[in-house]
Structure 1
Amino acid sequence: MKLLVTGGAGFIGSAVVRQAVAQGHEVVNLDALTYAACLENVASVADQETYAFEHCDIRDAAAVEAVFERHAPDAVMHLAAESHVDRSIDGPGLFIETNVNGTFNLLQAARAHWERQGRPEGFRFHHISTDEVYGSLGAEGQFTEDTPYAPNSPYSASKAASDHLVRAWGETYGLPVVITNCSNNYGPFHFPEKLIPVVILNALAGKEIPVYGKGENVRDWLFVEDHADALLTVLQRGEVGRSYNIGGENEARNIDLVRMICAILDELRPQERPYSSLISFVQDRPGHDMRYAIDPSRMRGELNWRPSVTLEQGLRKTVEWYLENEVWWRALQDREGVGVRLGKA
């Protein structure tokens, strides 16, 4: 297939690009190269004949339309988004422009392209979203594909809005769409503003490791390469008009996750004092959801997919990658907002 992957220079998008090329697909990587994007993330496939890059902002409808006309993709995998909750608290407008208006532009361009091609049955618009659209769970229960939407942050609200747009274009115009909602991703090439890379890099620098509130918020952690595999599985075998929740089956409290990372660092890069001594509890994020957890039954039952990497395995792989790739993350330290506490509102 020829895939148009939006946000393919970002964290999850680049994992999809690398796997798709490895599987033999042609890939057009559309990315605006905002602060969180790095072309180094796809350097391993950049010289492949089956790979092409388009520097394009999904907020620019005409530019998006031109990409479709140039490349005529068989499918769209839409990952381009503003995704950091803390940044959405400080500047929600950009999240609406990119996640809502940008998705609208893509849907319109995809629909026009699909109709020009004679509405091929094999075409797919795969929208990649988040479990945060469902809001917050208590101590029990899991999100299913039928859980009502109840977003609590500007970020999750913008993603919920984009999900609804995609569903509407499927129902109203017949565009062949699928939607996936994933749990928290982690792994190589994770931009250093999210929890796991912050813990690793602050620990290596001997800086305070900030943990919001009491660290009791629970997340389900999904290794990014597992997620990329799941996304390509849904694209090729998922049912049109269906949504699929993709989870890592690895729930952990934030404080336990941080301590696990510190223990791995103690083993791989020992210091005089344990890294856990750097942990500091800080003012919580406004509207911080307490718990996310995904019921993966549909992915298992319909598509025979489940994650292959446990949290312990994935964290070790991630820490080892950061230890071995200092050149990559050093180059990002001076980007806007990195190393600064955002989202205090």
Structure 2
Amino acid sequence: MILVTGGAGFIGSNFILDWLAQSDEPVLNLDALTYAGNSENLASLTTDARYTFVHGSIGDGALVTNLMTRYQPRAIVNFAAESHVDRSIHGPEDFIQTNIVGAFRLLEAARAHWGGLRDRQEFRFLHISTDEVFGTLQAGDPAFDEQNQYQPNSPYSASKAAADHLMRAYHHTYGLPVLTTNCSNNYGPFHFPEKLIPLVIHNAISGRPLPLYGDGRQIRDWLYVKDHCSAIRRVLDAGLPGQTYNIGGWNERTNLEVVMMLCDVLDELKPRADGSSYQEQITFVTDRPGHDRRYAINAGKIEAELGWRPAETFETGIRKTVRWYLDHPDWVRNVTLGSYRNWIAKQYA
């Protein structure tokens, strides 16, 4: 069995679904079901004997210890995190508690569990992190590789950087077989629509403005979530303990380019009733504080050492993503009620 934390979130739920589509190894999912955690993502597994869900937080050390004692996982994959920069600016404490304190308590429970195993060589702790820990790049700078200095610029990225340092320390000090992956911006099914791509899709078909911060020319590398899941499986299977692996899509795009492409695909798949383009709904809003200008991932190490490359281009991944949201209006409707509307109104006022 493997223990997945934060498995009801965007990347975690995609990972569990893909894992059980390819393996009979059971999954124990521990998730606190905060606003972005959605058990509906995994509704297809309700009667699957290979899947077990536990409602709880990685910050609950006693619960995590009890689960490890009871289920004896051979690996932990840690997705559990607060992950939205905008929310970290408005309320950083949740990010400190989950991303730092929670990671520490999970590590402590894992260390105790690992120490009691007969075959300690087989155990792995895989921590999912972000490229935002590296800070920002200028237009001509080389992409982030695994040797880049950490220079986080938001409460979110600082909390993730702190967790990464704890992972490194627990491997170096105690020998815990930790692996860390730093990924670029993910997109795809089950993405909570506070992030750029699902927000634009939702707003476009709802007839609302498509908000772009500043001039819209911030650059990100984009990674289709199912490609990310395949990379995580590869690192878990063959990665070397103590190593970090950058995972990227080799797709640098400005936010404006992303939104324009989304509008083009929507114009084709779900045209506006008046026949005009969704691009008419693009609205530039005040930039957020400390907005990093460019992220770019050099994923050469994972390709050279583990033989992984993304299968999707940005064009194929975007089309699949738009189609998924158009085909799942009930899911979108259920996650965009109540507090979500209040948050969007506050953020883009």
Q: TM-score, normalised by structure 1?
A: 0.97
Secondary structure in 1 aligned to 2:143?
Answer: coil
Q: Tell me how far apart the structure 1 counterparts of residues 131 and 179 of structure 2 sit (CA, whole Å).
A: 15
1:275 maps to 278
The offset of 1:341, in angstroms, is 4.9
Q: Deviations over 1:158-208 (max 9, x none)?
A: 000000001100011110010000000000100011100110010001111
Q: Deviations over 1:304-324 (max 9, x none)?
A: 000000111111101101100
The 1:136/1:342 distance shift into structure 2, 3 A limit, reads: farther
The offset of 1:120, in angstroms, is 1.2
2:312 maps to 309
The 1:166/1:207 distance shift into structure 2, 3 A limit, reads: same
Secondary structure in 2 aligned to 1:331?
Answer: helix
Q: Which amino acid aligns with 2:105?
A: N
1:56 maps to 56
Q: How does 1:196-345 map to 2 (within 5 A)?
A: 196-271=197-272, 272=274, 273-338=276-341, 340-341=344-345
Q: Tell me how far apart the structure 2 counterparts of residues 56 and 70 of structure 1 sit (CA, whole Å).
A: 15
Q: Tell me how far apart the structure 2 counterparts of residues 108 and 248 of structure 1 sit (CA, whole Å).
A: 33
Q: Tell me how far apart the structure 1 counterparts of residues 339 and 146 of structure 2 sit (CA, whole Å).
A: 36
The 1:250/1:242 distance shift into structure 2, 3 A limit, reads: same
The offset of 1:19, in angstroms, is 1.4
Secondary structure in 1 aligned to 2:125?
Answer: strand
Secondary structure in 1 aligned to 2:108?
Answer: helix
Q: Tell me how far apart the structure 1 counterparts of residues 221 and 31 of structure 2 sit (CA, whole Å).
A: 28
2:27 maps to 27
The offset of 1:340, in angstroms, is 1.3
Q: Deviations over 1:81-106 (max 9, x none)?
A: 00000000000010000000000010
Alignment check: 8 A CA contact 1:88 1:343 kept? no
Alignment check: 8 A CA contact 2:130 2:183 kept? yes
Q: Tell me how far apart the structure 2 counterparts of residues 154 and 320 of structure 1 sit (CA, whole Å).
A: 33
Q: Which amino acid aligns with 1:340?
A: I
2:97 maps to 97
Structure 2: stretches of 5+ with no match in the other structure: none
Q: Which amino acid aligns with 2:310?
A: P
1:76 maps to 76
Secondary structure in 1 aligned to 2:118?
Answer: coil
Secondary structure in 2 aligned to 1:294?
Answer: coil
Q: Tell me how far apart the structure 1 counterparts of residues 42 and 122 of structure 2 sit (CA, whole Å).
A: 27
The 1:243/1:341 distance shift into structure 2, 3 A limit, reads: farther
Q: Which amino acid aligns with 1:13?
A: G
The offset of 1:17, in angstroms, is 0.6
Q: Tell me how far apart the structure 2 counterparts of residues 22 and 78 of structure 1 sit (CA, whole Å).
A: 20
Alignment check: 8 A CA contact 2:75 2:124 kept? yes
Q: Which amino acid aligns with 1:295?
A: N
Q: Aligned residue pairs: how many?
A: 344
Q: Tell me how far apart the structure 2 counterparts of residues 244 and 342 of structure 1 sit (CA, whole Å).
A: 36
Q: Tell me how far apart the structure 2 counterparts of residues 107 and 22 of structure 1 sit (CA, whole Å).
A: 28
CA RMSD in angstroms comes to 1.3
The offset of 1:336, in angstroms, is 2.3
Q: Tell me how far apart the structure 2 counterparts of residues 9 and 78 of structure 1 sit (CA, whole Å).
A: 12
Secondary structure in 2 aligned to 1:113?
Answer: helix
The offset of 1:34, in angstroms, is 0.6
Q: Deviations over 1:119-172 (max 9, x none)?
A: 610100000000000000111210000000000000000000000001100011
Comparing 305-314 with 56-65, greater Cα deviation is found at 56-65
Comparing 64-73 with 209-218, greater Cα deviation is found at 64-73
The offset of 1:64, in angstroms, is 1.4
Q: Which amino acid aligns with 1:148?
A: Q
Alignment check: 8 A CA contact 1:28 1:53 kept? yes
Alignment check: 8 A CA contact 2:285 2:348 kept? no
Q: Tell me how far apart the structure 1 counterparts of residues 184 and 301 of structure 2 sit (CA, whole Å).
A: 15
Secondary structure in 1 aligned to 2:290?
Answer: coil
Q: Tell me how far apart the structure 1 counterparts of residues 198 and 80 of structure 2 sit (CA, whole Å).
A: 21
Q: Tell me how far apart the structure 1 counterparts of residues 296 and 236 of structure 2 sit (CA, whole Å).
A: 23
Q: Which amino acid aligns with 1:20?
A: W
Secondary structure in 1 aligned to 2:287?
Answer: coil
The 1:170/1:343 distance shift into structure 2, 3 A limit, reads: farther
Q: Which amino acid aligns with 1:52?
A: T
Secondary structure in 2 aligned to 1:102?
Answer: helix
Q: Tell me how far apart the structure 1 counterparts of residues 151 and 46 of structure 2 sit (CA, whole Å).
A: 40
Secondary structure in 1 aligned to 2:120?
Answer: coil
Structure 1: stretches of 5+ with no match in the other structure: none
Q: Tell me how far apart the structure 2 counterparts of residues 175 and 65 of structure 1 sit (CA, whole Å).
A: 16
The offset of 1:61, in angstroms, is 1.3
Q: Which amino acid aligns with 2:154?
A: S
Matched, 1:11 2:15: no
Alignment check: 8 A CA contact 1:134 1:147 kept? yes
Alignment check: 8 A CA contact 1:4 1:73 kept? yes
Q: Which amino acid aligns with 1:190?
A: H
